[in-house]
């Protein structure tokens, strides 16, 4: 078997970083090189392999099928090498996590200090957004989604369930006479998370709750719409209307008294739940498994209704 030269090893490492970042420019920043140097290293690697590893697009690069195949193998080898260097009992390195904005803001971020204290040699690169995650490029290790558990082509595991109930500020409840009177919602402003879960109707959560808890009440004409549940809750705190609260997200604001439950507690189980999602192409690296297991423990403490 041929031995890798220092130059070939450097080219492979450059390819690994560029594939993970999806950008020659970002790879150059990480490697303290110029984008031109990164491009030349990739070109030399492609020439030596006789393969095209990247599609060069206007503002980005994308792995070809050959590039993705080599990236998966190289990433697994790199993880094994890193673990061997660190030692069998050591956990170190970076974990890239993608999460929907609301669960990141209200649930995940407040818990990260505990993870950092337990795993001081692991760092987390948290990215948020409502867009779909492309695991093929290898830029994300683990995603945290709110959905029905259907993630075609990916591996997933439930983190925790969710329950729904309307929430508003105490002042808004008094002003509109809402306490134990859902029929008065007809004169209120409803706050909608239009992207509550993939491909849902803009008012899906409210229709779900009304159909079960207040079937005689119609949706009022006045509403405000957001693409994040935490923004709905913030608007409710500032007396803009009544939001459909998700227990896992709004509990701190209920505890502080900024929000109230005018129609009672969280009695309606959501058909959606929070899931870990990953590519499933191979076993999770030890560093990612550590975060996965730690978050499962956190989620188990959130399953009791209030």
> Count of alpha carbons within 13 Å of 158, Cβ hemisphere only?
13
Phi, psi of 142 (to 5 degrees): -150, 140
Find out whether 257 and 218 touch, Cβ atoms under 8 Å. Answer: no
**Which residues on adjacent β-strands are paired with residue 39?**
none
Answer with the one of 86, 113, 136 that is the final residue of a domain.
86
Query: What pLDDT is stored for residue 84 in this prediction?
Result: 61
In terms of residue numbers, what domain contains 103?
93-159+272-300
Q: Is residue 305 part of a domain?
A: no
Residue with the two structure tokens 């110029």:
34
What span, in angstroms and rounded, lies between the C-alpha atoms of 27 and 25? 5
Q: Are residue 280 and residue 264 in the same domain, yes or no?
A: no
Q: Is residue 1 part of a domain?
A: no
Q: Is residue 306 part of a domain?
A: no
Query: What pLDDT is stored for residue 157 in this prediction?
Result: 92
Residues of the chain under the 70 pLDDT cut: 1-4, 79-90, 136-138, 301-306
Q: Is residue 179 part of a domain?
A: yes
The pLDDT tens digits for 223-270 are 999 999 999 999 999 999 999 999 999 999 999 999 999 999 999 999
Q: Are residue 254 and residue 106 in the same domain, yes or no?
A: no
Q: Are residue 115 and residue 101 in the same domain, yes or no?
A: yes
3-state secondary structure of 225: strand
Q: Are residue 263 and residue 276 in the same domain, yes or no?
A: no
Answer with the one of 86, 116, 140 that is the final residue of a domain.
86
Answer with the one of 86, 111, 146 that is the final residue of a domain.
86
Instruction: Supply 70's token pair.
Output: 């080599």
Phi, psi of 35 (to 5 degrees): -55, -35
Q: Are residue 229 and residue 212 in the same domain, yes or no?
A: yes
Provide the number of structural domains found in the chain.
3
What span, in angstroms and rounded, lies between the C-alpha atoms of 56 and 42? 11
Residue 12, domain CATH: 1.10.10.10
What span, in angstroms and rounded, lies between the C-alpha atoms of 136 and 19? 10
Q: Is residue 71 part of a domain?
A: yes
Residue 259, domain CATH: 3.40.190.10
Instruction: Supply 173's token pair.
Output: 């409840």
3-state secondary structure of 39: helix
Q: What is the value of pTM for the model shown?
A: 0.72
What span, in angstroms and rounded, lies between the C-alpha atoms of 175 and 168? 11
């Amino acid at each position: 078997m041929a031995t890798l030269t220092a130059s070939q090893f450097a080219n492979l490492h450059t390819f690994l970083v560029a594939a993970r970042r999806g950008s020659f420019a970002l790879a150059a920043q990480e490697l303290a090189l110029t984008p031109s140097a990164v491009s030349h290293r990739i070109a030399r690697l492609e020439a030596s392999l006789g393969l095209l590893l990247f599609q060069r697009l206007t503002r980005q690069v994308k792995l070809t099928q050959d590039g993705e195949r080599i990236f998966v193998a190289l990433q697994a080898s790199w993880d094994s090498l890193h673990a061997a260097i660190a030692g069998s009992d050591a956990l170190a390195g970076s974990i890239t996590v993608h999460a929907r904005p609301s669960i990141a803001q209200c649930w995940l971020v407040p818990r990260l200090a505990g993870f950092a204290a337990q795993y001081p040699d692991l760092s987390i690169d948290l990215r948020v957004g409502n867009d779909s995650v492309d695991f093929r490029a290898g830029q994300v290790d683990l995603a945290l989604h709110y959905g029905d558990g259907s993630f075609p082509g990916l591996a997933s595991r439930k983190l925790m369930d969710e329950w729904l109930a309307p929430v508003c500020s105490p002042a808004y409840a008094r002003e509109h006479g809402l306490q134990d009177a859902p029929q008065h919602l007809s004169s209120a402003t409803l706050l909608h998370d239009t992207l509550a879960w993939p491909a849902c109707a803009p008012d899906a959560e409210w229709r779900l709750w009304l159909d079960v808890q207040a079937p005689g009440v119609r949706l009022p004409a006045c509403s405000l719409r957001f693409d994040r549940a935490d923004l709905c809750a913030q608007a409710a705190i500032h007396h803009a209307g009544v939001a459909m609260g998700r227990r896992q997200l709004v509990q701190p604001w209920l505890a502080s008294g900024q929000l109230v439950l005018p129609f009672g507690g969280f009695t309606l189980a959501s058909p959606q739940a929070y899931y870990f999602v990953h590519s499933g192409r191979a076993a999770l690296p030890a560093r990612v498994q550590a975060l996965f297991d730690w978050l499962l423990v956190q989620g188990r403490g959130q399953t009791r209704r209030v």
